[in-house]
Each structure stands twice: as structure tokens, then as C-alpha cells.
Amino acid sequence: MINNKKKIVILGAGFGGLYTYLGLRKLYANNEGIEVVLVNINDYFLFVPMLHEVATGGLQSSSIVQSLRSISRTSNFRFIQGKAVSVDMDKQVIDLECGYDDKKKHERQLSYDYLVMSLGSVTNFFDIPGVKENALTLRDVAGAQKIRDTLIKQFELASSVLGLRDSTVLNEFCLGSYQDSQSLQGATLSLVDNKEIERLLRFVIVGGGATGVELAGEMADLCSHGLKKEFPNLYDKVQIILIHSADRLVDKAHQWFARKVSDILRNKMKVVVMLNEWVSGVTKYGVSLDSKEIEAGKVIWVAGVKATPIKIKADKEIEYEQRTERIKVNNYLQIPTYGNVMVVGDQAWVHDKKIGQPYPMRAQFAVREGYVASRNILHMIDKEPLEEFFWMDQGFILSLGKGVALIEIRGYRFSGLFAWWMYRTIYLFKLIAVKIKIRTIIK
């Protein structure tokens, strides 16, 4: 049996990859004929649905991460921290980069009998000039922490401008914003002062999907409470502009969400919503729209995602969905031309036969795909019929600040404080470690 040991490799420890791993552990714990290797670029699992709260200081990053090394493993399960660079599907070999920094990285190869690809997604910049170089993003802990630090930094900069009284110093400080205009000429110091402060405290969020509206709600609360206390003389200058290309916010969800979100953000007073607007460029000093220019202290880009790219060597054809670059798989989650390779999570394009559309790139679908992938590997090894993936949407959750949330569960919709309690409770039970659950619920 040991001579015929089957090696299963999982690339990526997002929802899809982690739950594939957990499913396989349940099926094959201490089975000497099976070896399972989980590979991930970080040594932790990140609970992405609550990342926007880290970006605004509502939660510490430690509250939504779980060490992969601390997840109980058996003798035939192991974890490798590394980046998957390429996969040769004919030779069944993966090229990895391992190490903690560029100077100490080393390459290694990993063979497999069965492969599950779950590398998740990255921000989609849609090739719009300046976005990648100048905008902040919210896809990982580092991005969330940078947003939080930048918000505070912008208030500090605005406070510095407010205290400047030497026109030469102010002219140098504001040079980047006004170097192509003559607005400084003949302007009073106070007018220039106010214009620069307003620019520094104008935050533009591009993307009115779930992440965009959640971030806008949390940022409005942060500015209205914590930062207002620290910088009381700057609060009236703050503006959060939420730009969305569709005619309503969270347009992928039921229209009830759009109405509720618009009312909630309007009541937060510091948020301005702009619909049916397309961004054509981003600079250090703002965004360009088809209709106008908006000066801003910082732009945050949450306008869409695409599958994480990886180099694939394959003699047989592999199909991709063009817009999101997801790999097309059959309803058993296999790449049709390579039956021993499965793709789950945001990296997978899976067709929902019932509604005639691909399944969305959301956590609940990735979790279910992970479980189905683990069982289908069992079926392949045992030469049994495979299980088709099918999953009904169980609901939709939005958190829009402290004590405010919107929830739809199996057709029932709730809002307000009760919904926020449900949001925390539902996500609490999806966090893996008990200590993380306790730390999160008391925040």
C-alpha cells in the first residue's frame, strides 16, 4: 500500500483550499497510503469577509487570522509555506518559491497525483492608467493596515497644513496639488489652506459592491467618532466619495440591499454616492472620471477582482473566462482535459446549470466547493462515480459600521442592530480557532 501512496497537493489556503484540506483530513487522517500537502504563500488563513473592519481599526488583524501551523495535522498531512510559481500538468510537477524574503528564497519542486488549485483572487485594475501605482487596495492584511495608517496620516497632514502660517512653506507643501494651476497666485493663505485640507481629507472609494459599501460605512464611523475626537477642528472638512459604475449599489444583490445601503450611507452624512460613473485614471492627487476630475487625498480601489495568475504548462487545452481569468471546470470541479486537477474558490469558473450563470466569487461557495473536491478525490482514488457540485445561495450579509448590518437568509431580510448581532454571530462560528471567536465577539 505504501509503495502506491497517493500524493494530494492543495495550492492556496483560502476558503476553498482550507476546506478541501479539512475535508481530506476527515477522510484520510493517519492513512499511510495517502499524503496531503497544503501550500500557501502565508502561514495563516485570513477571514476575508471581516477585513474591512481591520482597515478602519474596528478589529485587530489577529482577530481574523488563524495560523495554518496550529491547525491539528496528522502524520500524513503537512504544510509548506511558499509561492506556487508554475504547474506542469503533463509532468504533474509544481515549481515553488520558498523563503521569507527575496534574499533567502529558494526554489523547489513538488510532485502530485491529485492537485487542487485554490489560489484565490487579486485586485483587478482593468488596465486603467495609474490605478495600480496610486490606489490603495483591500485584499490582505497588509492592505488593510495600510488603509488604516493612511487615514490617520491624512488627518495628521491636514492638521499640519492648518498650523502652517508661512506662505513659502505652504507653497512647497502644496506644490504637488497645484503645480499645474495658477490657483496659488493671488489667493489668500486661508483659502489655499482650506483647499488643501479639503483635498487631504477627501477619500475616494472606487467600487460600490459589498466591499466598497462596507468600507464606506466603517470609514464614516471612524471619522465621525475616533478621529473627530482627535481632530475636532477638521471633522467638517471630511468627505468620503463612493463611485460605482452601475445604476445602484451592490447591484449583484437584491435591490432591497441597494435601497437600504443608500439610506444608511446618506444618514452617515460624510458619504457621497456617485452612480453610473467610470474611472478613466488615478493619480496621486485624485481620480479622473469620464465627466470630471475629483481631487482627493487618497483613492481606495475595490472595483473588482480576478483569479490569481499562475503559469500553467499543458499540452492539452485549458479554458479561461476572459473577464475574471478564472479557470473553467466541469460540475465535478475538474479541469476537463486534466481529470486529476481540480479548481475551487475564486480561481474556479463553475457553471450553475439551474440559473445558467457561473457561481459567484464568494466564501460560502468556496467552502462548499472545498468539501465536494475532497470527496471527489476520494471517489477518484476508489474509482467511484463523482459528485456534482451544486449549491443554493444561503444568503447575503453586509456590515456598514458599528451596530449596523443588512442580512438576507433564505429569503428573510433583517437590518439594524439585530442584523449586526447576527452578522457577528454567523461569522463567529465560521472562524476556526476558539480563541479567535472569543476575541472577536468581545470587540
CATH number for the domain spanning 203: value is 3.50.50.100
Whether residue 230 contacts residue 151, with contact meaning beta carbons closer than 8 Å, is answered with no
CB neighbour burial string for 283-307, b if at least 16 within 10 angstroms, e if fewer: bebbbbbeeeebbbbbbbbbbbbbb
Question: Same domain for 374 and 245?
Answer: no
My answer on whether 277 and 293 are in the same domain is yes
Cα gap 342→364, rounded to integer Å: 18
Total number of domains in the chain: 2
Q: Specify whether 158 is located in the same domain as 293.
A: yes
Same domain, 282 and 168: yes
Amino acid at 231: F
Asked if the structure places residue 36 within a domain, the reply is yes
Residues in the chain, how many? 443
Residues 6+ apart with CB under 8 A from 248: 255, 258, 262, 275
Residues 141 and 115 in one domain: no
167 within domain boundaries: yes
Q: Looking at the structure, do residues 292 and 339 belong to the same domain, yes or no?
A: no
The per-residue pLDDT for 137 is 97
The rounded Cα 55 to chain-centroid distance in angstroms is 12
What distance in Å separates the CA atoms of residue 207 and residue 279, rounded to the nearest whole number?
A: 10
Count of Cβ atoms closer than 10 Å to residue 33 Cβ: 13
Same-domain pairing of 211 and 299: yes
Both 148 and 282 in one domain: the answer is yes
Distance of CA 408 to the CA centre of its chain: 21
- pLDDT mean values, one per 10 residues, the chain (443 residues): 81 96 94 96 93 91 88 86 97 90 76 98 96 97 96 92 53 42 42 81 97 95 88 91 96 93 88 96 95 94 96 98 96 98 98 90 96 98 96 91 90 90 81 52 51
**What's the pLDDT score for residue 373?**
98
With respect to residue 57, please indicate whether it lies within any of the assigned structural domains. Answer: no
Which pLDDT does position 24 carry in this prediction? 96
Measure the CA angle with vertex 311, ends 114 and 67; round to 5°: 60
Query: Tell me, what's the pLDDT at 267?
Result: 87
Is residue 410 one of the residues assigned to a domain? no
Q: In terms of residue numbers, what domain contains 94?
A: 2-41+82-123+306-393
Q: Are residues 316 and 371 in the same domain?
A: yes
Q: Which pLDDT value is given to residue 59?
A: 87
Euclidean distance between CA atoms 220 and 402, whole angstroms: 10
**DSSP assigned state of 364:** H
Separation of alpha carbons 347 and 365, rounded Å: 12
**Are 297 and 337 part of one and the same domain?**
no
Closest CA to 373 of 9, 2, 92: 9
| Residue ending a domain, choose from 304, 329, 358 | 304
Say which CATH number the domain at 340 has: 3.50.50.60
Pair (274, 353) in one structural domain = no
CA gap 207, 249 in Å, rounded: 9
Q: Among residues 386, 389, 349, which one has the least CA distance to residue 369?
A: 389
Identify the domain boundary among 250, 281, 304. 304
Supply φ then ψ for residue 73, to 5 degrees. -125, 150
249 part of a folded domain: yes
Q: What is the pTM of this model?
A: 0.88
Of the chain, the end-to-end C-alpha distance in Å amounts to 50
Tell me which of 378, 393, 408 is where a domain ends. Answer: 393
Q: Looking at the structure, tell me whether residues 226 and 332 fall in a common domain.
A: no
